[in-house]
Amino acid sequence: MQSEVNARGEVRVLRPGSAREAVTMARRWGGTYIAGASWLQPVWERDQCWPRCLVALDPRWPGFRGIERAERGLVIGALTTLDELSRHPLIHDYLPALPELLKLVAGPGVRRLGTVAGNLCAGGDLSALFLSLDARLDLVGCDGPESKSLAAGYIASQGVDLIQSITLPDSRLWRIAVDKLGHRERFSPTRATVACVHGGDRLRLAVCGEGGPRRLPITEAALNDGHSRSDVDRARLLASELESCGWQDPTLRLAIQRMVDYLLAEVGHDD
Ligand SMILES: Cc1cc2nc3c(=O)[nH]c(=O)nc-3n(C[C@H](O)[C@H](O)[C@H](O)COP(=O)(O)OP(=O)(O)OC[C@H]3O[C@@H](n4cnc5c(N)ncnc54)[C@H](O)[C@@H]3O)c2cc1C
């Protein structure tokens, strides 16, 4: 069966009654999950090409919306909107850098529609921060629930597994800094967002935007092994790591290098 159509009217929207049913439907019909549609919709309109089948996700399914404190950290329902995230007291307590970042993500109307999982699957601005925090995805699959590291490549593969929630470790004592470079501050695709997390003994670095969402393990290792490398060597290493993982624009790589320098100072690296 053809999986795409050229007219909006030919799209079939399936409304499953549960998360498991959604997974079964997506597998059987080759359907695309749809949450706030704020990323999908503009892409379809631009390309004048729609999926034949959509599987509508429902925030009323248990565990899919809201934020809870758990032993392993904070559990964020996948269909929690960006607006809810930016206002939630637990986020202000655990992760004050996040509401600051969200002020730079789209405008209020889009933040009321867009969801956390939708943002991560689209490689949006949250990806860099959540990757650097070692976020885990709680998935509903055909074979039951499963937990996977965000860094394990779910974003790139986008399988039929459904994200139910995202678990962030308790980062209250960590130093966290994020910076975004866009064409304009809002209403434009991100050029690059960089996040830097100092979790006590280790520093973690991730980037998202034009070159795609990535942890930067080689640069991280160089930064974590103390003073054995000069700043020039570390800058070269970062440039080559970025290039090898898809960041082809040299001007943008230079901008990211400057952002990393700024963020390292913000988290007090080398203090
Ligand atoms: C004007 C405008 C400005 C924007 N500005 C920004 C910006 O500054 N920064 C930014 O990061 N983004 C921006 N966006 C993009 C978008 O709004 C956000 O990324 C939003 O968070 C996407 O969430 P959504 O729920 O609308 O995703 P959707 O469009 O519904 O889905 C996006 C992808 O996620 C998948 N998906 C959604 N939920 C799940 C789930 N639970 N499990 C598995 N797969 C799932 C879908 O299948 C799809 O592939 C902007 C969009 C617009 C229209």
pLDDT in tens, 163-195: 999 999 999 999 999 999 976 555 567 899 999
Which parts of 32-170 fold into alpha helices (H)?
40-47, 82-87, 89-94, 97-102, 108-113, 116-121, 126-132, 154-157
Give the pLDDT score at 190: 84
**Overall average pLDDT of the 243-253 stretch:** 95
Q: What is the pLDDT confidence band of residue 142, given thresholds at 50, 70 and 90? A: confident
Q: What is the pLDDT confidence band of residue 199, given thresholds at 50, 70 and 90? A: confident
Give the pLDDT score at 141: 82
| Ligand 1 neighbourhood includes 162 CB (under 6 angstroms) | yes
Gap from CA of 101 to ligand 1 centroid (Å):
16
From the alpha carbon of 126, which atom of ligand 1 is closest?
11
Q: Which fold has domain 175-266?
A: Enolase-like; domain 1 (3.30.390)
Residue of minimum CA distance from atom 9 in ligand 1: 105
Give the pLDDT score at 271: 61
Q: Supply 198's token pair.
A: 């100092």
pLDDT digit string (tens) for 48-88? 999 999 999 999 999 999 999 999 899 999 999 999 999 99
Length of the chain: 271
Q: How far apart are CA 259 and CA 196, in angstroms?
A: 10
**Overall average pLDDT of the 12-38 stretch:** 94
Q: Which CATH architecture is the domain 4-56 placed in? A: 2-Layer Sandwich (3.30)
Give the pLDDT score at 188: 64
Q: What is the pLDDT confidence band of residue 101, given thresholds at 50, 70 and 90? A: very high
Answer yes or no: are the C-beta atoms of 111 and 86 closer than 8 Å. Answer: yes
The 8-class DSSP code of residue 213 comes to: -
Q: What is the pLDDT confidence band of residue 156, given thresholds at 50, 70 and 90? A: very low
With the most atoms of ligand 1 within 8 angstroms of its CB, the residue from 39, 105, 113, 125 to mutate is 39
**Residue 269, C-beta contacts closer than 8 angstroms, at least 6 positions apart:** 196, 198, 203, 223
Residue of minimum CA distance from atom 27 in ligand 1: 118
What is the share, in percent, of the chain residues with pLDDT greater than 70?
92
Residue of minimum CA distance from atom 19 in ligand 1: 119
| Ligand 1 neighbourhood includes 54 CB (under 6 angstroms) | no
Give the pLDDT score at 201: 82
Q: How far apart are CA 260 and CA 207, in angstroms?
A: 10
| Ligand 1 neighbourhood includes 192 CB (under 6 angstroms) | no
pTM of the entire structure?
A: 0.94
Q: What is the pLDDT confidence band of residue 159, given thresholds at 50, 70 and 90? A: low
| Ligand 1 neighbourhood includes 130 CB (under 6 angstroms) | no
User: To 10 degrees, the CA torsion angle through 254, 258, 260, 264?
Assistant: 160
Q: Mean pLDDT score of the chain, rounded to an integer?
A: 90
The 8-class DSSP code of residue 96 comes to: T
Q: Which fold has domain 67-168?
A: 3.30.465
Domain coordinates in residue numbering, the chain: 4-56, 67-168, 175-266
Gap from CA of 37 to ligand 1 centroid (Å):
6
Q: Supply 216's token pair.
A: 């930067």
Gap from CA of 224 to ligand 1 centroid (Å):
33
